[in-house]
Amino acid sequence: MQRAALSGVCGPLRGGARSRPQVVSQQLLFHAGLPTFAGDKELLVKLRKKTGYSFVNCKKALEKFCGDSKQAEAWLHEQAQKEGWSKASKLQGRKTKEGLIGLLQEGNAAVMVEVNCETDFVARNVKFQQLVQQAATGTMFHYQDTKNQLTTYSKRFMKAAELSQLRTGPTGSLLSDQLALAIGKLGENMALKRAACVAVPANHFIGSYIHGVLPADNLSPANVALGKYGALVICQALEQSQKSSLADLGRRLGQHVVGMAPLSVGSLEDEPGGEAETKMLAQPFLLDPSITLGQYVQPQGVSVLDFVRFECGEDTELPETE
């Protein structure tokens, strides 16, 4: 029973309980300072809900630390991380073509990250989604100084090795450690694949769009959008416009980039192309194929400068940082 296990770890029972053959009251079955049976059960439920680990492991942790939930939680994370690294080495080489794109936008900066796993089932698990969120917030934190005093836009990329060494915040843990924890909990190979960070000066804005959006109800309020495709479009507002109208315009441009997968921006002087056209401004506008994207954008008083497009699981080399 749980009480017997707890008493065995925490020391001999009071009142000579070990030498007494007769039945004693519940109060005497516990070492001083330990909660009652109902309290033990409540601690177990809370620890299970908070950490996501199995009841067996949570019970073992509470027994090990005499009901101290903080020590128990720390020990569980430590054990999961060790197990995660072990699983990571065993699972290394298994393909990770599924996963999610995470997009986070704050003011004049935005980041996109890609985190991969083996199956779509795991991609829909809240713990995997939290890992994607941590990767996005960690990338934003790393590039926070880029957001200030810009004279032109900034676009940077990170590969897996650099991304894994980022921290989730000022006093947060490494993303590589969070990756190990997730592998330990979910039992699939995973990878922090890449990240992009964009920042713009005044009179510029960033259009953003995520396709195949998954609900983020179970995540902390960091406003990270999750999906299978993502786009950031860097624009310059040539005329004064309301932020709401620019946000709508930016979303449409992002939709176009996701749907039409251009390879370059091109120019307004480019001849209109067909479905196979790779220059963004010469492509048929996704939402109105009777005109080109350039013909749609020009009357809006906006100039498209650059873009970033991520597709989950695609084979691609990251471009050089600009």
Looking at residue 167, the DSSP 8-state letter turns out to be: B
Confidence grade of residue 7 (pLDDT, cut at 50, 70, 90): very low
Query: Which range, of 82-86, 115-119, 309-313, 315-319, averages the lowest pLDDT?
Result: 82-86
Please give the pLDDT value at position 92. 60
Least confident of 31-45, 94-108, 265-279, 297-311: 31-45
In this structure, what token pair is assigned to residue 120? 């779509």
**What's the rounded Cα separation, in Å, for the pair 158 and 318?**
8
Asked if 225 and 216 count as a contact pair (C-beta separation under 8 A), the reply is yes
Distance (Å, whole) CA 197 – CA 199 = 7
For the entire predicted model, the pTM comes to 0.72
More confident residue, 265 or 19: 265
What is the fold of 2-91? Answer: Helicase, Ruva Protein; domain 3 (1.10.8)
State the average pLDDT for the chain. 81
* 296 compared with 21, residue with greater pLDDT: 296
For 233-251, the pLDDT digits (tens) are 999 988 776 666 889 999 9
Q: Could you identify the residue written with the tokens 């991520």? A: 310
Q: In whole angstroms, give the CA distance from residue 13 to residue 87.
A: 39
- Residue 214 DSSP class: B
Q: Where are the domains of the chain?
A: 2-91, 98-311
Architecture of the domain defined by 98-311: 2-Layer Sandwich (3.30)
How confident is the model over 277-282, as a mean pLDDT?
97
Position with higher pLDDT, 165 vs 180: 165
Find the Cα–Cα–Cα–Cα dihedral 285, 287, 288, 292, rounded to 10°. Answer: -10
* Cα distance between residue 287 and residue 217, in whole Å: 29
